[in-house]
Homo-oligomer: A and B are copies of this chain.
Amino acid sequence: MDIEQTKIPQATAKRLPLYYRFLNNLHTQGKLRVSSKELSDAVKVDSATIRRDFSYFGALGKKGYGYNVEYLLSFFRKTLDQDETTRVALIGVGNLGTAFLNYNFTKNNNTKIEIAFDANEERVGSEVGGVGVEHIDDLEEKLGDISVAILTVPSSAAQGIADRLVKAGISGILNFTPARISVPSNVRVHHIDLAIELQALVYFLKHYPLNEEEAEEEQ
């Protein structure tokens, strides 16, 4: 790892993978240059925000010209560590876990689910999406140095599994269960709560009426 330009705002950091993906698309399409305005139309983020985001990394573009797609892409590839693959474990091969295993994020990404765990004897030993399913009892033993886990177990099991993951040395957990798990502060948890996302959308529809003109919305 190299010197940290530590002060990238979190809001910016969350948009970086999005930029990277669209840059990749543009590159595949053979585009050589792109302006913040074009990018804005594609990713639905205000063009000033895009320029501001990029500027945290220095002067990546040219005034009057825009950004060189190749250059920008290679810059982000380094920044987002797209060259090394982050190995990921998935716990809970149920409805959601199976969907993730079949998808496996490799199409665009630097991440790969390498191993899965489940408590159900019938699943253990099988393969889903090319990933072997191990018994949850062997978690500590088989996790190795994997540092990121996706949690798709029933919510009642979430805290217990999280505790074991932490003990086994995990650094980050992507938690899809509705349980709000507690971990020490040296472990990062991102909650993705799908039921809440749906309810929030419904709430916004009822209470934040939209106008009858153009343009569109945030995530």
A108 beta carbon closer than 8 Å to chain B: yes
Residues of A within 8 A of B (CB): 1, 4, 6, 8, 10, 13-14, 16-18, 20-21, 42-44, 80-81, 86, 88, 95-96, 98-100, 102-103, 105, 107-111, 147-148, 150, 171-172, 174, 178, 180, 182-208, 210-217, 219
- How far is B195's CA from A99's CA once the two chains are assembled, in angstroms? 13
Q: How many copies does the complex hold?
A: 2
Q: Is the interface of A mostly helix, strand, loop or mixed?
A: mixed
Q: Is the CB of A190 within 8 A of B201?
A: yes
Q: Is the CB of A180 within 8 A of B16?
A: no
Q: Is the CB of A196 within 8 A of B1?
A: no
Residues of B close to A208: CB separation below 8 A: 6, 10, 13, 188
Residues of B close to A4: CB separation below 8 A: 207
Most chain B CB atoms below 10 A, which of A103, A199, A215: A199
A200 touches which one: B190, B196, B215 (CB < 8 A)? B190
Q: Is the CB of A108 within 8 A of B212?
A: no
